[in-house]
Amino acid sequence: MSASLTEIQITWYNAVRKCIEQTHAASDVPTDVKSDMTANGYTASATEANCIAYQDTYAPGKRMVYRLLTEAEWIECYKTGKLNSHPQFEWVGDAYDFSRRVLRIYDNPTNRSNDSPGDDYFNYYSIYNSYGFRLARIV
């Protein structure tokens, strides 16, 4: 798990694409895993449907692949002091409902929010809030 945000002002879909890119770029990921990912459409240009399939069904529990933290993992990392402080909302892998994804924020960890996975920020009372993400990986 990365302690700092990997990137900010990013959509949920693009955050998942970054996880996929990172997996393909990692030298310790077996070639057969990378080939399987490519065959399933899990590439840097993955469709929105493939991003959802990758994060929701392919990556969880799979060794060596990068993915977004789950909401439970994010909360556990916050409670154990593994996250650094920042003002951005963060995408986590969990779905909120059929069309939205969960966001968490370090400054108020009890606050659970959600947004369209195609958005990269929101404007709340003229305060610009960008969305970021962290990488997770089972090694």
C-beta of residue 91 within 8 angstroms of C-beta of residue 131: yes
What is the domain extent for residue 89?
1-139
- 3 state DSSP class of 117: coil
The predicted structure's pLDDT at residue 15: 94
Residue-wise pLDDT tens digits, 77-114:
888 888 776 767 888 998 888 789 988 887 777 778 88
Evaluate if pTM is beyond 0.85: yes
Helix (H) or strand (E) run with residue 91 in it: strand 89-95
Strand partners, 131: 89
C-beta of residue 86 within 8 angstroms of C-beta of residue 109: no
- Tell me how many domains the chain contains: 1
